[in-house]
Chains A and B, each alone.
Chain A
């Protein structure tokens, strides 16, 4: 990263002719950092007709570089991209590398999020590679004096299908530009002929990660780099009153940086920065603007509503519900949760007159660049954001905020600064996954059909637009205060047949904590409510939970996953609770089904749990999951994501709640915000249902959605007690059991 050149990749590409050595240089620091496709800074999505060269470069040695703004963040996405491009191009997958999320060298075709990496990101790369393949075959046809229709590319060579002299792709295009636009209607390979997509190719990042050699953002060093730490206020919006620099006199070579209420320290030595930030004596104004997390569900029900969002509306629920033979109602609550990244957020900033460079693990480097440029008043072409792998983020964690902190400190210090948040910063200040409150009413007829269903949901909210950066806020910079948490209302409507359905979301005017997209935003709580209530209806009908669902579904792909998950766990049809659950340690099973966003992956999940009635402890013994995301790009990468979704959501359901008092978040470490530990890890069996003739959906989120519902249903089966508030802590379980 020390190679300095005044040429950006774009200007090299624009210069035409041969690309000589530029791609082999690790880091090209450009003079200006326009996205090479010329999209305006922060523009989202692929431009209408991007260049093939913006996505792909074939080198003289036959290797290929893929350029993308969609970053891997530990999901295996980069490997899926390599497979996708290798398949279309007919070049061995081992020859592909991926450069991710560098605003100076990669196209902007969107950030990582919403499980869109495969359906949108890989699709862009696939079309670029297919366009390149067609161009190569056309050039090859002239070189070989054959008709294009007689040629194909395999193993990196263009050859006549019926045998004969071939020519290496690298000999035709190596080091040169294609200079053509991606053809959006290009003919794609028939999935039936795939040889690379669909294979469990090992991820290229894993070996270095398992030997301590992978260079994370947290490991990145620049010459002359200082270490920075930020001193956050004891109350979230408190103003900085006084700073006593003499309190850290004993710590060597520390400089205090203050911009309004933004306070930080920089030092050559990281430990000096940490101690200085910890020991610096400060006074702050009092602030008690938070409602506190206790009783937040009641607060939300009566809070001011910004707007009502209709989610689903058919038939006439008001008229139909009273006609039901049996009517039920229930309230479900999901608390605020943290991304709780294992490694606190980090950023390295190098602010120079010639331009600012930020190294970040942001899931959206182009979005971060646009926001930093706007908030700090720097022209976007003077800001370059370079993605590096960090700790897993599962949405927008503190990475973007850490970037703003590093920028503020580097600007003041006149040197490159690395900021890593401390544990209490990450837990205390990352923007949070919102709390959700759901009231559900419904009824069944005498035959157990769902007559009507109504859901009313309350969601913390605020203005749209970019999220405020906390460092910039403390520094008094003007910025937006967007409270975007993602598509929170999807899957709030049940997938089951009913003629009368109404689902409405009350989006509140305000939120106590900054909001963020956290894995499967909203869908986990929505499916928790839908699948729990579905079980409650099945119970009222005296029916088996799987049979009740089966009867209300018609989509064969839905039925396939439901049948698979239940048969894997040897599901015995009977109503809940388990008649054989007697004694102190009671065992039960539960099932849940959903189709992600009602339009993507089909997932069904069954669980076996044991509940210790005396301690309230829940042990999840076994989970079976059937997962259908259409065409599978990499079955092992997919399985890893599905397993991760299940375990992480189990953790969120069993343990996690952000606690706050009137001034600040109080769950600021792993003891006050515990997550799942190894002894709690269940046995997980995943069945991947492959549908090569169907489009691929992303799998970074879907399998998380049914977890809480299946768990709550299994606990009910074991105990006869229905848990409707997350997390299912031993205290909460015991309290519920004692009331039963």
Chain B
């Protein structure tokens, strides 16, 4: 079985995958036990599975595991803990920017990529930055407020 080596949340990971095209999402969730990234569509349309690869937001549901060999993956678990969330998580909690929360991990990871690139985005830039992330509960205004809270910090 082919083996793939990459870094996840600061640690070295070595994983086997019978299929080199297995999407990263299933490797993260089932092989590495990292459940923050969620399956939403498997089509790269909703953003629930968003993680960072070398700092760039990718849809892990359509990213083959072979493509991340030798690269650096960051999932929401790597940003902070429930006791010590990172700045974006803290802002999401302060704004209570979740209902069901199924999209939240992807939202925060897309926001992380945006804020790394553009530390002080305008509201319109945030809206564009999250255009690929869907929220069905309609928590949009709170998610925008949370990201703007970090953007203005």
- A-side residues, CB < 8 A to B, are 73-76, 202-203, 205-216, 218-219, 252, 269-272, 274-275, 340-344, 389-392, 394, 420, 422-423, 636-637, 640-641, 643-648, 650-651, 669-671, 675-679, 681, 683-684
Residue of B nearest to A427 (CB): B41
Q: Which residues of A contact B38 (CB under 8 A)?
A: 216, 218, 343
Query: What are 6 A-B pairs with beta-carbon distances under 8 A?
Result: A206-B101, A213-B82, A270-B30, A340-B136, A342-B40, A640-B99
User: Which listed residue, A208, A209, A270, A684, touches B26 by the CB 8 Å rule?
Assistant: A270
Residues in B whose Cβ lies below 8 Å from that of A675: 134, 136
Chain B contact residues, majority secondary structure: loop
Q: How far is the CA of A343 from the CA of B45 in the complex (A)?
A: 12
Task: Assess the B82–A211 pair: CB atoms within 8 A.
Answer: yes
Let me know if B139 is at the binding interface, CB within 8 A: yes
Contact between B101 and A651 (Cβ–Cβ < 8 Å)?
A: no
Are A342 and B103 interface neighbours, CB within 8 A? yes
Q: A-facing mask of B17-32, CB < 8 A → 1, else 0?
A: 1110011001001100
Instruction: Identify B140's interface contact among A209, A213, A423, A681, CB under 8 A.
Output: A681
Instruction: Say yes or no for B150: interface residue by CB 8 A criterion.
Output: no
The CA of A671 and the CA of B45, in the complex, are separated in Å by 8
Known: A74-B101, A270-B30, A423-B40. A212 touches B77 (CB 8 A): yes
The digit string for B110-131, where 1 denotes a CB below 8 A from any CB of A, is: 0000000000000010111011
A392 pairs with B100, CB closer than 8 A = yes
Is the Cβ of B136 less than 8 Å from the Cβ of A212? Answer: no
- Asked whether, in the complex, the Cβ of A207 is within 8 Å of the Cβ of B85, the reply is yes
Q: Check A211–B85 contact: CB distance below 8 A.
A: yes
Judge whether A271 and B131 touch: CB under 8 Å: no
Distance of A650 from chain B, by nearest CB (Å) = 8
Question: How many B residues have CB within 8 A of the partner chain?
Answer: 61
**A679 in contact with B128 given A208-B82, A342-B136, A392-B99 (CB within 8 Å):** yes
Q: Which 3 pairs across A and B sit closest by C-beta, in order of nearness?
A: A212-B36, A647-B138, A74-B100
- A219 to B33: give the CA distance in the assembly, Å: 9
B30 and A206: CB pair below 8 A?
no
* Residue contact B48 to A343, C-beta cutoff 8 Å: yes
Beta-carbon contact of B101 and A214 below 8 Å: yes
Task: Check if B75 is an interface residue, CB within 8 A of chain A.
Answer: yes
A422: chain B residues within 8 A (beta carbon): 42
Q: Which single member of A211, A216, A644 contacts B137 (CB below 8 Å)?
A: A644
**Nearest residue, chain B, Cβ from A421:** B39
Residues on B with C-beta less than 8 A from A205 are 98, 101
Tell me the minimal C-beta distance from B40 to chain A in angstroms: 5
Scan B49-61; emit 1 where CB is below 8 A from any A CB, else 0: 0000000000000
- Asked if B102 is an interface residue, CB under 8 A from chain A, the answer is yes
Q: Which listed residue, B35, B100, B144, touches A391 by the CB 8 Å rule? A: B100
Q: How far is the CB of B68 from chain A (nearest CB, A)?
A: 15
Query: Is B148 positioned at the interface, with any CB of A under 8 Å from its CB?
Result: no
Name 14 extra pairs, CB < 8 A, besides A74-B137, A271-B22. A74-B100, A76-B99, A202-B93, A206-B92, A210-B92, A219-B35, A342-B48, A342-B135, A392-B137, A648-B137, A677-B131, A678-B140, A678-B143, A678-B144
CA–CA, A564 to B41, complex, Å?
Answer: 41
- Roughly how many angstroms separate A243 CA and B82 CA in the complex, as a whole number? 47
Contact A644 B138 (CB under 8 A): yes
* A677 and B17 alpha carbons, distance in the complex (Å): 35
Nearest A residue (CB) for B22: A271
Task: Write out the residue numbers on chain A whose beta carbons fall within 8 Å of the beta carbon of B127.
Answer: 678-679, 681
Q: Is the CB of A275 within 8 A of B19?
A: yes
Q: How far is the CA of A443 from the CA of B49 in the complex (A)?
A: 54
**Contacts A212-B35, A678-B127 given: A423-B136 contact, CB under 8 Å?**
no
Q: Complex formed: what's the CA distance from A272 to B103 in Å?
A: 25
Alpha-carbon distance A732/B93, docked complex (angstroms): 40
For residue A324, give the distance in angstroms from its CB to the closest CB of chain B.
40
A203 with B18, Cβ < 8 A, contacts A211-B80, A423-B40 known: no
- Provide the residues of chain A in CB contact with B141, threshold 8 Å: 643, 647, 681, 683-684
Indicate whether B108 reaches chain A with its CB closer than 8 angstroms: yes
Considering only CB atoms, which chain A residue lies closest to B140 in the complex?
A681
B104 at the interface (CB under 8 A from A): yes
Contacts of B37 in A (CB 8 A): 212
Contacts of B98 in A (CB 8 A): 74, 205-206, 209-210
Asked if A210 and B43 sit within 8 Å, CB to CB, the answer is: no
Across-interface contacts of A213 in B (CB, < 8 A) = 36, 77, 81-82
1/0 per residue, CB under 8 A from A, across B64-77: the answer is: 00000000000111
Q: Which residue of A is nearest B128, CB measured? A: A679
Does B5 sit within 8 A of A, measured CB to CB?
no
Contacts of B29 in A (CB 8 A): 219, 270
On chain B, the residues within 8 Å of A343 by CB distance are 38-40, 48, 102
A669 lies within 8 A of B41 (CB): yes
Closest B residue, CB atoms, query A361: B100
CB-nearest residue of chain B to A72: B100
Contacts of B77 in A (CB 8 A): 211-213
Instruction: Check if A342 sits within 8 Å of B35, measured CB to CB.
Output: no
Q: Across the interface, which residues of B come within 8 angstroms of A651, CB to CB?
A: 138
User: Which residues of the other chain, A, contact B96 by a CB distance below 8 angstroms?
Assistant: 202-203, 206, 636-637, 640
Contact of B99 among A74, A207, A212, A270 (CB under 8 A): A74
Contacts of A647 in B (CB 8 A): 138-141
Using known A-B contacts A202-B96, A678-B131, determine if residue A670 contacts B35 with beta carbons closer than 8 Å. Answer: no
- Docked-complex contact A681 and B101, CB < 8 angstroms: no
Q: Are B139 and A389 in contact (CB under 8 A)?
A: no
Give the Cβ gap from A619 to chain B, nearest Cβ, in Å.
Answer: 12
Q: How far is the CA of A125 from the CA of B50 in the complex (A)?
A: 39
Q: State in angstroms the CA–CA spacing of A212 and B127 once bound together.
A: 22
Question: Which single member of A210, A340, A646 contacts B108 (CB below 8 Å)?
Answer: A210
Whole-angstrom CA separation of A218 from B142 in the bound complex: 24
Chain B residues lying within 8 Å of A210, measured Cβ to Cβ, are 85, 89, 92-93, 97-98, 101, 104, 108
Chain B residues contacting A679 (CB-CB under 8 Å) are 124, 127-128, 131
